[in-house]
Amino acid sequence: MKHENSAERRRINYLDAIVQAQTEELERDSRVIMMGEDIAIYGSGDLIERFGPKRIWAMPISEASFTGVGIGAAIAGLRPIVDLNIASFMYLASDQIINQAAKLRFMTAGKVSVPIVFRVCMYYGASIAAQHSDRPYPLFMNVPGLKVISPTSPADAKGLLKAAVREDDPVVFFEDSKLWTVKEDVPTDPDFLVPIGKAAIKRAGSDITLVAISGAMRPTLEAADALAAEGISAEVVDPRTLKPLDVPTIVTSVGKTGRLIIIENAHRMLGAAAEIAAAVAEEAFESLRKPIIRLTSPDVHVPFSPVLEEALYPRKEQIVTAAKRLLT
């Protein structure tokens, strides 16, 4: 496994990194197939022309069953990437993801293996209202047997998606449309992988730990810049993988700073922030110099009107204010 230090790099955005990861894995392993709605026509970088209809399956609008078809195909020797498109569509498919993909290895004592990736896009902040705008990763963090990842940078998106395709367990890959345009130098090595289950320190610091999840990374990094301008050194931690969660990296950071803010765009009740806060309270209570702060969406649905929706997600200013509160 060649990690983040791979040599040659090219500057691409988050969405291109995902497409590149898919294309490279399709090229590498003939068992990799893609399944999803409309993928033969647009949105996937000419995959149908390059790999043909036996590798690229354009699906009828049957999320519950084509997800199960992917699971059956995975059990029988393929390594499917099932593109569920907009994240809230995965509720239709959740019986197959939870009752079949997540449980079959366990229930059969390892006789059945389900090497599959569910690619889901959290496409919110775009005035498409509640039924197209969810951030459902916390629901799936509650399911044993799944691995749940949500990268925040192009290199991580590429390396983690490639690792997910090579993984023998079912992986739910939550991409965040708020990050699609983020650009970065990304390794071109076709064997560049980012390990599942390892958090990353996106910015080193000593005064306060900011754990940011998925799309919340953007305002968090902006807040870290603003805090730095005022002489406050924030350490920004990106879990990258939400299940299994790399608690030791977070605990180590809190051990250094004594202060913790967790920022995410999902709901407050039982979100990733709640789990991280509980884990830190259990494992590093004595390190905390101040109470933990969670900045999340409130427990309310995404409204259509932009002015209402913008009020939902944590902003740079709120993060800065919260950080200062912990430092006074």
Partner 1 sequence: MEKQQHEIYRRMLRIRRFEEEGTRLYLAGEIPGAYHASIGQEATIVGACMALHDTDAMTGTHRSHGHPIGKGADLKALMAELMGKSTGICKGRGGSMHLADASVGIIGESAIVGGGIPLATGVGLSAKVLGTSRVCLCFFGDGAVNQGTFHESLNMASLWKLPVIYLCENNGYAITTSVAMSHGQPNIAQRAQSYGMPGIVVDGQDADAVLKVTEAAVARARNGNGPTLIEAQTYRFDEHQVGLVVPGTPYRTPEEVEKYKLHRDPIALFRQVMLSQGTAATELEAIESEVTAAVDEAVQFARDSPLPDVGGLYDHLYSRPLETSYP
Site residues (vs partner 1, CB under 8 A): 31, 33, 54-55, 57, 59-60, 62, 64-78, 95-96, 99-100, 104-113, 144-145, 147, 167-169, 197, 243-248, 279
Question: Whole-number minimum distance, CB 129 to partner 1, in Å?
Answer: 24
Phi, psi values for residue 65, rounded to 5°: -90, -35
Q: How far apart are the first and last CA of the chain?
A: 44
Spatial contact of 32 and 55, defined as CB atoms under 8 Å apart: yes
Nearer Cβ to partner 1, position 142 or 206? 142
Nearer Cβ to partner 1, position 167 or 184? 167
Half-sphere exposure of 216 (CA within 13 A, CB side): 30
Q: Quick count: other Cβ atoms within 10 Å of Cβ 229?
A: 9
Question: Whole-number minimum distance, CB 163 to partner 1, in Å?
Answer: 13
Nearer Cβ to partner 1, position 57 or 123? 57
The whole-angstrom separation of Cα 20 and Cα 91 is 27
Instruction: Give me the catalytic one of 24, 25, 37, 63.
Output: 63
Nearer Cβ to partner 1, position 47 or 104? 104
The whole-angstrom separation of Cα 93 and Cα 116 is 14
> Cα angle at 45 between 93 and 73, to 5 degrees?
35
Question: Whole-number minimum distance, CB 67 to partner 1, in Å?
Answer: 7
Verify whether residue 301 is a known catalytic residue: no
Question: Whole-number minimum distance, CB 271 to partner 1, in Å?
Answer: 17
Nearer Cβ to partner 1, position 68 or 138? 68
Question: Whole-number minimum distance, CB 313 to partner 1, in Å?
Answer: 27
Half-sphere exposure of 122 (CA within 13 A, CB side): 25
Verify whether residue 63 is a known catalytic residue: yes
Helices (DSSP H) in the chain: which residue ranges? 14-28, 47-51, 63-75, 90-95, 104-107, 137-141, 154-166, 217-229, 247-257, 272-283, 306-310, 316-327
Residues known to be catalytic: 63, 132
